[in-house]
A and B are shown apart, each in its own frame.
Chain A
Amino acid sequence: MSDLEAYRLKARAWLEGMAPIYGGQARAGLSLDEDLAIARRYQRAKFDAGYAGINWEPEWGGQGLSPLHKVIFEQEEMPFAMPMGYFGVSLGISVPVVMRFAQDREWAKERVLAALKGEEIWCQLFSEPSGGSDLAGVRTRAEPDGNGWKLNGQKLWTTWAQVSDYGVIIARNDPAVPKHKGLTFFWVDMHAPGVEVRPFRLAAGDSHVNEVFFDDVKMTDAQRLSPVGGGFGTAIAALMIERYSASDANGFGPPIEVLVELARTAQINGRPAIEDGRIRAAIARSYTLRAGLQSITTRAMKLMEAGMEPGPEGSLNKLMSARATQKLAELAIDLMGNLGLEWTRGAWTKENWVAAWMNAPTLRLAGGADEMLLNTIAERILGLPQDHRPDKGIPFNQIPA
């Protein structure tokens, strides 16, 4: 047995031991506050057991292991419905950025450790009402103010801002230069005067995203994480830090075996649905896509294990699995007919077709809309030209609104 396989088995055993305390059943029916409290304890348990910051340097509270170890742990963690969602952005994007770019290294160490233990949570303030995909088009302003800065504007879609202590933010310091060049990256105290966080509900009923308003919020220059005007590069670096994370070929919906089981029990024209050619075709095509995505992941992990870079095809997973799951969930609901109308609030998307179906539209937009992902594949992988961009090269304040 390889070291990695031993690591996987050990992680699985640990997770199985934790599942009754922190897993899906323990969390059923809890309020947000109760669930967050459990989540913090779970994150602390991970820290104590050596499963937090798996691939971070020990000087930052990490375990100093490879990204592969981290992915293996995440793969094992996925089936248990553990409360790790609150820390996804925090530990996946924001804190690593602070770790890398914060000016005050001692302060950064304290924050990183507190975040790893689940005591503090960080959000990422990128998207705005005027645009999410067009990151360089942000309108929130950071203006010089004495020795520091003053922040005004509004962010939108900020995941878990309502439970966050800090955030990383990109803001416009100079509207008179082209849009990519007038941005600066900061960290911001979410409890500072002038910060207002308003959660709002998504169509699927949950409220993990927020509007965040900044009204003359003061920042010191020590909160700057990029050169003045160099914030776009830092934002892209931030998004690249989490290159290696466990992907789910099932598009965060139920596995194909669940549909096969449904098709055995449901009937069409008096015969088991599994005998119906339409159902068989759908099952076969879904299996084929998922097997392909799974095989891409397995190959990427083998490459990493051999010390090589995984190929760019790993970027296909979210695009292809999310939309496929959306359609497959529609089919599953068709198979249940009017027995499939029930909407169980808070049901887990990996167990419940209606929940998977209701979550799919969000999934197809979050972290890059399908169309943006296709652009990225076309431009970065295949070398096709950028779209026509009328705002290119002209000062931000002269772009027609």
Chain B
Amino acid sequence: MSILYSEEQQAIATESRRAIDARADKTRLLDLIERTGAYDHPFWDTAIAQGWTALAVPEAHGGLGLGLIEQGLVAQATGAATAGAPFLTANYGAIQMLLASGDAEACGRWLPRLASGEAVAAVAFAEGNAPLRPSPAAVFAGGHLSGTKPGVTAGLAADFAVVWCHHAGEPALVLADLAGASRQAVDSFDNARLFADLTFANAPATLLIEGEAARAAALDALARMAVVTAHEQVGGAEALLFAARDYANTRKAFGQPIGAFQSVKHRIAELYGLVEIARANCIHAASREGEGDFLQAAAAARLSATEAYDTAARDAVQIHGGIGVTWDGGLHLHTRRARSLAIEQGNMLFWEDLLVEQLSGVAA
């Protein structure tokens, strides 16, 4: 994997931005905040039409067989637009775990439907602030799953979930059809993420992987999703950087553009630094897919991208002044998304500890 994008990859980046921009509508996105269970259909139609749902699915299962770099580039475009559906990242995680399971029946059933966009997945790992609890509370036994997974991204719309649970005292990954689960909407600050508390009461489920292999597969999938999300965060942070820059160049106060004041221009220059550090870490992490140092590369990407997006969300609003805190101005779409993405795939605390464990061998 190269750290330089190929022409094909550059084309994906350009084309995905263009396709999203062509149908972007801030009013529609603002409306999604007010309701649970709704997502942006025009965006999702675009994603399917552009083939983004098929990116990471092997060709044998109807996909394009591309990798993390391509998935990341599309995520970056969706992040810039605060796209109104969360399915691409969760689907990508589910695809990785289906492939890791080697379960031909499950792969044959779900991968072509994920590739075509007919089905969408959720990844139900986290319990509270732990993205991957060593002993998860949900229990799988005798082909059935019991327990609750709170705040699952895409949980309100997904057809199935890959669930981190335990099975006979060992960790396990199981696939549960969400027709058999009850979904309670979380009325959240970013409702387009379709967060749901998923409750399984003896729901039918299929064991994908168990034991140490399950732990490794879950961590690998989480790290991959974290790299995709980090790209999305970079896209968002960069959009805010540009918005702040453009506003500072046009808005005048005291007889000059506010961007001529160092308190403003330095704040924007600092954002540039954070965005470029995060972008560099993302590019590196995507190029380390499947390598021995992938976890630490993923952690670095995730940490710097979360810092960049959160900081950009704070500072871009500050630079916009009053217009930055109005509903119709819409900057809060990014403020909200910066925080929801900071939680999805694990918070900073988790990734800091994981990175230091990778560097020192000492667990937290």
* A interface residues, Cβ below 8 angstroms from B: 256-257, 260, 263-264, 272, 274-275, 277, 280-281, 283-285, 287-289, 291-293, 295-296, 298-299, 302-303, 306, 313, 316, 319-320, 371, 374-375, 377-379, 381-388
Contact = CB atoms under 8 A, between A and B. Distances in A.
Contact of A313 (B241, B248, B265, B280): B280
Contact of B280 (A257, A275, A293): A293
Given A284-B355, A292-B278, A272 B362 contact: yes
A127 B354 CA distance: 47
Interface stretch (B34-42, B58-66, B266-274, B323-331): B266-274
Contact of A387 (B2, B4, B260, B299): B260
A375 B353 contact: no
A274 B300 contact: no
A382 B269 contact: yes
Contact of B281 (A275, A291, A302, A320): A291
Interface residues of B, number: 45
B27 interface: no
Contact of B277 (A274, A284, A320): A320
Contacts of A291: 281, 284, 297, 300
Contacts of B280: 292-293, 295-296, 299, 313
A302 B2 contact: yes
B359 A256 contact: yes
A263 to B, nearest CB: 7
A133 to B, nearest CB: 12
Given A291-B281, A302-B2, 12 more contacts: A260-B356, A264-B360, A283-B360, A284-B355, A285-B352, A292-B277, A296-B280, A316-B273, A371-B262, A382-B245, A384-B259, A385-B260
A283 B356 contact: yes
B253 interface: no
Nearest to B308: A292
A362 B154 CA distance: 51
B269 A377 contact: yes
Contact of B304 (A256, A292, A378): A292
25 contacts: A260-B356, A264-B360, A264-B362, A280-B352, A285-B307, A292-B277, A292-B278, A292-B300, A292-B304, A295-B284, A296-B276, A299-B3, A299-B283, A302-B2, A313-B280, A371-B266, A378-B269, A379-B265, A381-B269, A382-B241, A382-B265, A384-B245, A384-B260, A384-B265, A387-B260
A120 B278 CA distance: 44
Interface of B: 2-4, 241, 245, 248-249, 256-257, 259-262, 265-266, 268-270, 272-273, 276-281, 283-284, 296-297, 299-300, 303-304, 307, 349, 351-353, 355-356, 359-360, 362, 364
B296 to A, nearest CB: 8
A118 B159 CA distance: 72
B283 A295 contact: yes
A377 B272 contact: yes
Nearest to A314: B276
Nearest to B246: A383
B355 A287 contact: yes
A375 B300 contact: no
A121 B355 CA distance: 46
Contacts of A388: 256, 260
A275 B303 contact: no
A292 B2 CA distance: 16
B311 to A, nearest CB: 13
B281 to A, nearest CB: 5
B283 A284 contact: no
Contacts of A379: 265
Nearest to B270: A374
Contacts of A386: 260
Contacts of B304: 288-289, 292
Contacts of B352: 280-281, 284-285
B3 A302 contact: yes
A4 to B, nearest CB: 15
Given A299-B280, A378-B268, A284 B260 contact: no
Contacts of A306: 4
A302 B249 CA distance: 34
B289 to A, nearest CB: 15
B364 A384 contact: no
B356 A298 contact: no
A386 B261 CA distance: 8
Contacts of A281: 352
Nearest to A313: B276
A256 B272 CA distance: 24
Contacts of B360: 260, 263-264, 274, 283
A260 B171 CA distance: 31
Nearest to B5: A299
Contacts of A381: 269, 272
Contacts of A256: 359
Contact of A280 (B256, B268, B356): B356
B267 to A, nearest CB: 9
A385 B255 CA distance: 13
Most buried by A among B257, B270, B280, B284: B280
B3 A316 contact: no
B240 to A, nearest CB: 13
A374 B277 contact: no
A288 B364 contact: no
A217 to B, nearest CB: 38
Nearest to A376: B269
Chain B CB within 10 Å, residue with most, of A302, A320, A378, A387: A378
A277 B266 contact: no
A284 B362 contact: no
A316 B249 CA distance: 22
